[in-house]
Structure 1
Amino acid sequence: MPDAMSARRAKSLTPIESRCAEYGLRMTGQRRVIAQVLSAATDHPDVEEVHRRAHSVDPRISLSTVYRTLKLFAAKGILERHDFGHGRGRYETTMGNHHDHLLNVETGQVIEFSNAEIEALQERVARELGFELVGHRLELYGVPIAKKKTAGRKGE
Structure 2
Amino acid sequence: MSHFPDHSPPSAGHLRDRLAQAGLRATRQRLVILESLLLLPGHPTAEQVHRRVVGQEPSLSLGTVYKALDSFVAAGLTRRVASAEGSCRRYDADCSAHHHLFCTDTQEIIDFRDPQLDTLIQEFFAAHGLQGFQPQSFSLHIIGNKLASDETIK
Q: Does 1:101 align with 2:100?
A: yes
Q: Does 1:21 align with 2:23?
A: no
The amino acid that maps onto 1:19 is R
Match in the other structure for 1:68? 67
Match in the other structure for 1:7? none
TM score, norm. by length of structure 1: 0.76
Work out the CA distance in 1 between the residues paired with 2:87 and 2:16. 28
Using the TM superposition, give the Cα deviation of residue 145 of structure 1 relative to its aligned residue in structure 2, in angstroms.
Answer: 4.2
Match in the other structure for 1:83? 82
TM score, norm. by length of structure 2: 0.77
Partner secondary structure for residue 13 of structure 1: helix
CA RMSD of aligned residues (A): 2.3
Partner secondary structure for residue 44 of structure 1: coil
Deviations 1:89-145 (A, max 9, x none): 0001244x4221111012101111111221111011111024775210101000234
Greater Cα radius of gyration, structure 1 or 2: 1
Aligned residues: 136
What's the % identity of the aligned pairs? 31
Deviations 1:69-90 (A, max 9, x none): 0111111121100112241100
Higher relative contact order (CA 8 A, sep 6+): 2
Partner secondary structure for residue 55 of structure 2: helix
Unpaired runs of 5+ in structure 1? 1-10, 150-156
